[in-house]
Structure 1
């Protein structure tokens, strides 16, 4: 699709040099990208990823690339979707959830550059919460509060540990009700809305998405039961693994279902949330919706775990012991 140096000069890669503890430098990404005729624009205190991506489009970029973690990818993906530009993802963050679920080699971001030569353009879904795009999920409750803790980026385990006790004891909850197909769940401890459903049927692949083209959101709601077991987290995990995909009942400790839209309602005016790992405050009510095929991604032909055909459809977990 992008064969030839002349075509590749119309590619701008927005790079976060701090992602993954300096992953772009370890893989010499800037030089490798420029060696293929594309341009690299690095984020800084004055230039965030979204601003650089918008500027690149104004200056004629026909393909937007992004090298960084999920937060950086999400920001550039929103601009790519809004301007109908293909997105090239170079997974250079710590977790790289979106890149992993695209089938990219998250251990070697350089491998994604082959898409500039003979890439496969593929449409995938996005999520929307209000006017904001999300590629992975919107979280409310325990995880969203951890994002607000000072030093979260430097020590995520400590941040989560500092907010977990109040949620496990039932002293803290999401100050909202969640609409489910079987009624509202009142004041849960955790609400997670994902762009396409997460796999929850087996522990080995828990948290993976084997499709990004279902046209549906996934929802997981965890609510502390009245008779709290000694190990609440283990109980909630077993509840999720026990359930087949479906809404459960409004009184279940754990509920999981899929839908085109999911709404949270509350008596207050706003709600703390995390969008792709970034702390935000959203006005109530909050409605999350799916945007089927909202983003075109430019994928390398050789992707780990993805069949050779250029379609990201529903995939079963790989077979294994």
Structure 2
């Protein structure tokens, strides 16, 4: 049976190692092949981008990708440049991009339905230099942890090895970043996301309620916390209390922009792009590519929850009850 979107030649690039072997656990390759797609596996000799470029050269009209954010970003870059629709099948650990598309990240099988009956859509991509990101690019503690050779197997240990220097103020991002408050030199953390994260309510912290705003989200933690031992917990607590870019006394700065620039005396800077370690030349600019990525989405998907309506102190919503 050939189902792949009206007989279009379809190539699905799959990362068999994603999510600790999720593609095999859910039988995603076999299911995609039964739907008429060719499945090309990433291996030691063929990475996601090279397989996607080859697929386009050989006439693929529709691309698919099975994996986490890093794999998705690599194939999305090719799909956007070639203007080929992309089907995303979440099979990584976190799957932030797929989650914010409304896909079912707990059961990726349903996402394959887009191969036969997909709904077209377009979403933004982020760019840092020549690199595409679908979720975020990070600088600081997370980027340094990614450099640990054993990060994938022992994430907690990798973080534990780098966090103390940041907590003591001995380490930071070896660059300055332009913010609405002006340049911040050597911050602890810089996080630039493809569309802004929601940061005001704990339940949806880190969600993106749109991927079509044509804006980046910027988050900077510019000095170490006073007491909490958990740097990331401290960042979360700061963000929950902040709606606008912070005043001079706040440690966290949160804003949106079409372009965010980092600069400094060093020639290069470690970064994490969608969970993959890279080294980037300075100065560097993060930008947005509005509507750059064509997608086919399954008709049935959990969806994105409505963005919470924030209440001002002293207001009462309809339906609130008081004793």
TM-score calculated relative to the size of structure 2 = 0.91
Distance 1:48 1:230, change over 3 A: closer
* Offset, 1:256: 0.4
Q: Does 1:11 align with 2:14?
A: no
The answer on 1:297 being equivalent to 2:295 is yes
Q: 1:224 to 1:306 in 2, by over 3 A?
A: closer
CA contact (8 A) 1:105 1:303 kept: yes
> Could you tell me whether the CA contact under 8 Å between 1:183 and 1:250 is conserved in 2?
no
CA distance, structure 1, for counterparts of residue 89 and residue 303 of structure 2: 17
Q: Is the 8 A contact 2:72 2:88 kept in 1?
A: yes
1:29 aligns with 2:20: no
Q: Structure 1 pair 169/123, CA: closer, same or farther in 2 (3 Å)?
A: same
| Counterpart secondary structure, 1:263 | strand
Number of residue pairs matched by the alignment: 308
Q: Please name the residue that 1:89 is paired with.
A: 88
Aligned partner (choices 217, 225, 228) of residue 226 of structure 2 = 228
Equivalent position to 1:254, from 239, 245, 252:
252
The alignment's TM-score, normalised by the length of structure 1, stands at 0.91
- CA–CA separation in structure 2 for the residues paired with 1:78 and 1:159: 29
Cα distance between partner residues in 2 of 1:230 and 1:94? 27
Which residue does the alignment assign to 2:105? 106
**Distance between the aligned counterparts of 1:232 and 1:255, measured in 2?**
18
- Residue pair 1:136, 1:194 contacting (<8 A) in 2 also: yes
The answer to whether the 8 A contact 1:69-1:95 is kept is: yes
User: Once the 2 structures are TM-superposed, how far is the Cα of residue 221 of structure 1 from its aligned partner?
Assistant: 0.3
- Structure 1 regions of 5+ residues with no counterpart? 308-314
The question of whether the paired residues in 1 share the 8 Å contact of 2:5 and 2:115 is answered with no
Distance in 2 (alpha carbons) for counterparts of 1:50 and 1:30: 18
Other-structure match for 1:285: 283
CA distance in 1, matches of 2:120, 2:294: 6
Q: 1:274 to 1:316 in 2, by over 3 A?
A: same
SS at match of 2:157: helix
- Indicate whether 1:263 and 2:261 are aligned: yes
Q: How does 1:304-315 map to 2 (within 5 A)?
A: 304-306=302-304, 315=306
Aligned residue for 1:128, secondary structure, equals strand
Residue 6 of structure 1, CA deviation: 8.2
Aligned to 1:98, the other structure's residue is in SS state helix
Q: Name stretches of at least 5 consecutive residues in structure 2 with no aligned partner.
A: 311-323
Conserved 8 A contact 2:6-2:116: no
**1:163-186 Cα distance to aligned partner (Å, 9 max, x none):** 001001100000111101221111
Question: Using a 3 Å threshold, how does the CA distance of structure 1 residues 207 and 306 change in structure 2: closer, same or farther?
Answer: closer
Instruction: Let me know the Cα RMSD of the aligned residues.
Output: 1.9
